[in-house]
């Protein structure tokens, strides 16, 4: 069941599952469609957590404007966590969601017990942003099919891309103008992102996971992040790319074991 929290400038959808006493929050990355539409898939994928954790999965604020930054997204998340009175959180974020999670962790260390971040970078340089800038340009020219193809090819493995590319028509047809507007805001928010100095202030135990085949953010960035977060450990998948959180069969078990250790 999709829930909603609305106060001040916040209007955010979320869902939760599990019966555990521990609080876990999942923050997704940039997405063309809201993860709220994948509620059942996510619940099934993270079912290993349901007995030990109550898991919250949050969407972005519906009131994001074009000037929104990742720091604004993190501030939204902090406000929601405070309003829901969630404490001692096990925080997990992928890609942009990992960036948001890192900011939450150093800005409010009192909230986060453990942190798991994957497929992220601490600095979005011009070379990285070319990909996102190109998608924005194509969307402004109404080339939605090409954007979806670019996104899938860049984020997922060649094998998964090849097996799904010919069945994407219903997905593309379901994308609304509102979905596109949100996607563009999320992509624009990545420009000039830099938290390399700030991540040194993350004090909680942190698990960093990367894929050597990541075509969005180079896995070497995760090595740098690991060196800058004192209480962190790093795991690198040799055979997975950016979407290792979907493709690596043991990814959920790896995060679960870290949170439970």
pLDDT (tens place) for every residue of the chain, 261 residues total? 999 999 999 999 999 999 999 999 999 999 999 999 999 999 999 999 999 999 999 999 999 998 999 999 999 999 999 999 999 999 999 999 999 999 999 999 999 999 999 999 999 999 999 999 999 999 999 899 999 999 999 999 999 989 988 888 899 999 999 999 999 999 999 999 999 999 999 999 999 999 999 999 999 999 999 999 999 999 999 999 999 999 999 999 999 999 999
CA–CA gap between residue 222 and residue 228 (Å, rounded)? 10
CA–CA gap between residue 110 and residue 89 (Å, rounded)? 9
* Tokens encoding 91: 């925080």
DSSP string of 91-116, one letter each residue: EEEETHHHHHHHHHHHH-TTTEEEEE
CA-to-CA separations, 29 to 138, 144, 162, in angstroms, rounded: 20, 19, 22
Q: Are strands 22-27 and 10-17 parallel, antiparallel or unpaired?
A: unpaired
Extents of the domains making up the chain: 3-123+195-260, 127-186
Tell me the helix, strand and coil percentages in the chain, rounded to 5.
45, 20, 35
CA–CA gap between residue 168 and residue 20 (Å, rounded)? 36
pLDDT of residue 246: 94
Q: For residue 156, what is the DSSP state?
A: S
54 class by beta-carbon count within 10 Å (0-12 exposed, 13-18 middle, 19+ buried): middle
What fold does the segment set 3-123+195-260 form as a domain?
Rossmann fold (3.40.50)
Residues in the chain: 261
Specify the 3-state DSSP secondary structure of 138.
Answer: helix
pLDDT of residue 71: 98
């Amino acid at each position: 069941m999709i829930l909603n929290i609305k106060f001040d400038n916040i209007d955010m959808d979320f869902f939760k599952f599990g019966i555990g006493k521990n609080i876990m929050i999942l923050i997704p990355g940039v997405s063309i469609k809201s993860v709220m539409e994948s509620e059942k898939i996510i619940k099934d994928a993270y079912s290993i957590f349901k007995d030990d954790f109550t898991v919250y999965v949050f969407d972005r604020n519906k009131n994001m404007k074009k000037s929104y930054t990742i720091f604004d997204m993190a501030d939204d998340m902090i406000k929601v966590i405070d309003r829901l009175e969630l404490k001692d959180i096990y925080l997990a974020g992928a890609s942009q969601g990992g960036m948001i999670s890192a900011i939450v962790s150093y800005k409010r260390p009192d909230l986060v017990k453990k942190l798991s971040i994957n497929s992220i970078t601490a600095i979005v340089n011009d070379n990285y942003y070319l990909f996102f800038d190109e998608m924005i340009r194509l969307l402004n020219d109404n080339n939605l099919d090409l954007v979806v193809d670019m996104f899938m090819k860049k984020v997922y493995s060649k094998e998964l891309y090849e097996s799904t590319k010919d069945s994407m028509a219903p997905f593309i047809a379901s994308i609304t103008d509102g979905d596109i507007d949100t996607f563009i805001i999320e992509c624009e928010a990545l420009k000039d992102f830099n938290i390399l100095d700030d991540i040194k202030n993350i004090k909680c135990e942190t698990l960093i996971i990367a894929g050597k085949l990541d075509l969005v953010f180079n896995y070497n960035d995760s090595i740098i992040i690991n060196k800058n977060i004192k209480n962190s450990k790093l795991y690198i998948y040799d055979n997975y790319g950016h979407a290792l959180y979907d493709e690596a069969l043991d990814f959920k078990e790896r995060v679960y074991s870290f949170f439970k250790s």
